[in-house]
Copies of this chain bind each other. A is one copy, B any other.
Amino acid sequence: MAAPRKFSEDRLRAAALALVDEKGLAALTMRNLAAALGTGAMTIYNYVDGRDGLERLLVEAVMTAVRPVPGVPSPDWRADLRAVAEAHWRAFRAHPDVIPLVMTRRSLDLPTLAGAEDMLDALARGGRSGARLLIAFRLVSGFVMGFAQAELAGPLSIAPEETAEEVIARVRALPADRFPRLIEIAEAALDSGPEAEFHAGLDLIITGLTSG
């Protein structure tokens, strides 16, 4: 005893994600999404629990892209940890405008939890359990989140429509006697790129996990 729904949830998700990827997070409004779907604003409420549900949908869409991580689990827990961490990071980078939502919202949905469990599984196979497992998890997931955030909003972050050269020009304009190290790493960042930095940081963590 019902009328058929006009849109699938996938259609909703795709439209919302496209909206944010193209026009930024601020463009995520009920009216905008409805217009993109060619319908009225209130229709969205038949698919999503208000604004909050809309954001939830978006975060889930990004987190769903994390899994499955190919080749995981393997006998090499270190390789698995690297793979899972990188899968998260890649998913974030693919939709940078959603990162603020991922960072900010309390997400307890299945895709998010599954990604966490993947990471935990690799760490557990590295011989950790209980409190030591908790700490290792906090460390790795914190790094992944924080690294994504730093690229987006940190001192070396590159604004939309800005080039890496413009960033270093801005940093170089700082007083050199007060921020010598900041200037130094801004120059170093020109030659490395976030990919290499992410992997190197992760390797340092794995070194720490192995030694400690």
Interface residues in A167-212 by Cβ distance below 8 A to B read 170, 174, 178-182, 184-185, 188-189, 191-192, 197-198, 200-201, 203-209, 211-212
Closest chain-B Cβ to A37's Cβ sits at a distance in Å of: 27
Question: Copies per complex?
Answer: 2
CB distance from A119 to the nearest CB of B (A): 9
Q: Assess whether A108 is interfacial by the CB under 8 Å rule.
A: yes
* Residues 122-144 of A at the B interface (beta carbon under 8 Å): 123-124, 129-131, 133-139, 141-144
Are B188 and A134 neighbours in the complex by a CB distance under 8 Å? yes
Interface bracket on A:
35 or more
Q: Which of A2-10, A13-21, A38-46, A110-118 binds B?
A: A110-118
For window 61-107 of chain A, which residues contact chain B by CB distance below 8 Å? 100, 103-107
Select which of B117, B150, B188 is within 8 A of A182 by beta carbon: B117
User: Across the interface, do B138 and A150 meet the contact criterion of CB distance under 8 Å?
Assistant: yes
Chain B's closest residue to A106 (CB) is: B153
Inter-subunit contact B209/A204 (CB<8 Å): yes
Which residue of B117, B141, B178, B201 is within 8 Å of A139 (Cβ)?
B201
Chain B residues near A206 (CB-CB < 8 A): 208
Shortest Cβ gap from A92 to chain B (Å): 12
The answer on a CB contact under 8 Å between B106 and A157 is yes
B113–A182 touching, CB < 8 Å: yes
A135 pairs with B197, CB closer than 8 A? yes
Known: A131-B188, A184-B129. A197 touches B138 (CB 8 A): yes
Q: Which residues on the B side are within 8 Å of A150 (C-beta)?
A: 138, 141-142, 145
Q: How far is the CB of A141 from chain B (nearest CB, A)?
A: 6
Sorted nearest first, the 3 A-B pairs with minimum C-beta distance are: A146-B146, A208-B208, A142-B146
A residues whose Cβ falls under 8 Å from a Cβ of B: 100, 103-108, 112-114, 116-117, 120-121, 123-124, 129-131, 133-139, 141-147, 149-150, 152-155, 157, 159, 170, 174, 178-182, 184-185, 188-189, 191-192, 197-198, 200-201, 203-209, 211-212
